[in-house]
Amino acid sequence: MQRNSQQLKPGVPKMFKICLYMKDSHEQKSKQQIIEFNRIPNMGEFIDLGYNLYRVFLVCHSPYNAEYQATVAAIKTDWHSCETLIDQSQRL
């Protein structure tokens, strides 16, 4: 039986290569960035990238390019809006 050369060592988390498309606003074109995450983010989840907060609105687990494990699209969200959402959910 042939072993996979990329098997994980015990205690080493698996990293997923993700093609991330980020938009700063609905009107602007998206910026593409290749990143490695320890998991694939979910739709609706917030991602903190270097003092910028992005909310995931699309996740494709079977992207066209086999080089990536997922393609993720996210739009920039200001911190105040996020805090408002958190406050509202805590009241429910």
- Spans of the chain below 50 pLDDT: 1-6
For the entire predicted model, the pTM comes to 0.69
Task: Supply the mean pLDDT for the chain.
Answer: 80
Q: What is the pLDDT of residue 90?
A: 64
Q: Are 69 and 34 in contact (CB under 8 A)?
A: no
Q: What is the pLDDT of residue 42?
A: 93
pLDDT per position as a tens digit, 42-67: 999 988 888 888 999 999 887 677 88
List, as one string, the DSSP characters of 5-36: TTPPPTTPPP-EEEEEEEESSSSSPPEEEEEE
Q: What is the pLDDT of residue 78?
A: 82
